[in-house]
A and B are shown apart, each in its own frame.
Chain A
Amino acid sequence: DGGITQSPKYLFRKEGQNVTLSCEQNLNHDAMYWYRQDPGQGLRLIYYSQIVNDFQKGDIAEGYSVSREKKESFPLTVTSAQKNPTAFYLCASRGKRGDLGTQYFGPGTRLTVL
């Protein structure tokens, strides 16, 4: 079955540590996205990538970094510069225009800073 996987499901971090969240897709999608979701709030775009080896900042990129070395993978690093990283992180991918822009989401990673 094609889909998007995120790991781990739960992640705990001590203050001052960097952590990396994994996102893998086997849908052969070009575009991938990272969102942050806080309780009772909508999705805020962190970074997105429309092609391998290229990515753009979203609305809240400060304190985060990404890479896109392979089409299938778009890992997100939460750095110590992110002052309030506790949140639910969602990865998504999107197919070509023929799919009308539908985004396919992974199950999410819940990050808690201790």
Chain B
Amino acid sequence: DQQVKQNSPSLSVQEGRISILNCDYTNSMFDYFLWYKKYPAEGPTFLISISSIKDKNEDGRFTVFLNKSAKHLSLHIVPSQPGDSAVYFCASTNTGNQFYFGTGTSLTVIP
């Protein structure tokens, strides 16, 4: 039962352009959402989060948008840089005890 879905396994973007990564969830009880970035052979690194009382959170080049009615989450990276190339996971929770992760989107930023 995949409660968090990332339907795009991969995405390629030119350096300097915007990267948009999408995530859908099914559980309307989720109240906290996060994005993690993962390089090969490393653990996921926290990137940005948003609670369900907000619809947007911005941190530098990274912005997360939350559309609760559509149960949709997106991460915008602008401008994209080659160092952003990694696998991005979205995750959701309603208890804090466990997070439900998507299957990840592999982002490649082309110089």
Q: Do A and B bind each other?
A: no
